[in-house]
Amino acid sequence: MPGMDPLLRVHNLEVTYHRRLVAIRNVSVVVPEGAVVGIIGVNGAGKTTLLRAISGFLPGEDAQITEGDILYRGRSIKGLQPHETCSLGIALVPERDKVFPTLTVEENLEAARWRGNGSGGGSREALLQRLFDWFPVLKERRRQLTGYLSGGERQMLAIAMALLNGPSLLLIDEMSLGLAPSVLADLEERLRAIRDELGLTVLLVDQFAAMVIRMSDYCYVMENGGVVFDGPPERLLAHEDVREFYLGMSDSSQAAKSYREVKQYRRRRRWYG
């Protein structure tokens, strides 16, 4: 998207694990300020690796950025540690292990360190109150151990904790995992409200393509470690292969298996041909 300087710019990124496995190659993603950018792709496409690279978690996984760069507000954040990227204003809501199991809800929220004024320029206390408005269940259960929370409540807590870091950029990894459709729809709405009020920039990474396309201003499709397609939601919805493979809207429902394989081959050729 032309015009403003992007908040986050991933340029030609290549990440290698254990010095021998290239997980993502030549990935370029642009996240403008205030936008919601989505990334869809199946398991193993490299989405989580991308988020890890942005927030500084690669060394712990014995992985390195072997090419390319990541620029946040124009500055490279390539070698930074997780708490350093956090203090710059990037908060990651991880895919698994999103809350502290031995602490209560209240303590979980306390544990998040307030790092900036990215969230609409208010104070931590004010934000906490707003969070309780958006997620009333957290207020009700504040003294409970997180082990007793349901999946949806846990995800709400995880998002609340990330927001209490006061970020400008929120990275959400696989928000939809393990959530019932109704719970997820509810969460979607709240997230939309939060983002509107706080003016957050969001990078949403998920397998659930429909939700991502619904929520984003711009989308990237990742496959096998690379970006194969990108565009605004309308463009994605119009693309035949996105519809078939990510949205499950097949034009030929009872097509023989072999035809599907042919299609897959043609699709591969189209992405890479």
Partner 1 sequence: MDAQLAAQVVVLASFYSLVGTGYVLVYRASRVLNFANGELMMLAAYFFFSLAVLGQRLLPLTVLMALVLAAVLAAVIYLATVRPMTGYPVFSVVLMTVGLAIVLRGIAELVWRAQARYPLEALHLPNRPLTLPAGVTITAVEAAEVGAAIAFIGGILAFLRLAGIGVQMRAAADHPVLASQRGINIHLAFALSWGLAAVAAGIAGLAFAANVRLEPNIAEQGLRALAVPLAGGLTSIPGTVIAALIVAASENLAVRYADPLLAGVVPYFVILAFIVLRPWGLLGEKEELERV
Partner 2 sequence: MAAGSGYLYTSYTRALAVLDTTFKKQCLSALATAVILFPLVGSNYQVHLVNLSFIAVIGALSQNLLIGYAGQVSLGFAGLFAAGGFTAALMVKELGFSAFLPVLAAASAVGVLLGVLIGLPALRVKGLYLAISTLALHAVIIYGVSEYQHRLGGSAGIVMPKPSFGPIVINSDREWYYLLGALATLVTLACINLTRSRVGRAWQAIRDRDIVAAACGIPLLRYKSLAFVVSSGLAAMAGAVDAYHAGFVSAEKYSFLLTVQYLAMVVVGGLGSILGSVLGAFVITLLPFIIDFIVHAFPTPERLLISVLQLQRIAFGVVIVCMFLLEPRGLVALWERVKTFFQLWPFKFVVARVR
C-alpha dist (Å) from residue 35 to 5, 77, 129: 12, 20, 25
CA distance 72 to 79: 12
Binding string to partner 1 for residues 89 to 128, with x set by CB under 8 A, is what?
Answer: --xx-x--xxxxxxx---xx-xxxxxx-------------
Contact residue for partner 2 among 23, 35, 36, 37 (CB under 8 A): 23
Contact residue for partner 2 among 19, 96, 143, 269 (CB under 8 A): 19
Quick one: residue 150, left, alpha or beta (phi over 0 = left, psi -120 to 50 = alpha)?
Answer: beta
Site for partner 2 in 197-226 (CB under 8 A): 224-225
In the complex, minimum distance from the CB of residue 17 to partner 1, in angstroms, rounded to a whole number: 14
CA distance 37 to 228: 16
Nearer to partner 1, 16 or 146 (CB): 146
CA distance 200 to 162: 12
Contact residue for partner 2 among 1, 22, 180, 262 (CB under 8 A): 22
Nearer to partner 2, 93 or 228 (CB): 228
HEC letters along 18-78: CCCEEEEEEEEEEEECCCEEEEECCCCCCHHHHHHHHHCCCHHHCEEEEEEEEEECCEECC
Nearer to partner 1, 56 or 225 (CB): 56
Matching residue, tokens 């072999």: 258
In the complex, minimum distance from the CB of residue 23 to partner 2, in angstroms, rounded to a whole number: 7
Site for partner 2 in 221-240 (CB under 8 A): 224-225
In the complex, minimum distance from the CB of residue 228 to partner 2, in angstroms, rounded to a whole number: 12
Confirm if 200 and 119 have CB atoms less than 8 A apart.
Answer: yes
In the complex, minimum distance from the CB of residue 166 to partner 1, in angstroms, rounded to a whole number: 9
In the complex, minimum distance from the CB of residue 86 to partner 1, in angstroms, rounded to a whole number: 4
In the complex, minimum distance from the CB of residue 272 to partner 2, in angstroms, rounded to a whole number: 9
Closest by Cα among 203, 198, 211, 206 to 163 = 198
Confirm if 173 and 92 have CB atoms less than 8 A apart.
Answer: yes
Contact residue for partner 1 among 28, 64, 87, 144 (CB under 8 A): 87
Binding site for partner 1 (CB under 8 A): 55, 57, 60, 81-83, 86-87, 91-92, 94, 97-103, 107-108, 110-115, 161-162, 164-165
Binding site for partner 2 (CB under 8 A): 16, 19-23, 224-225
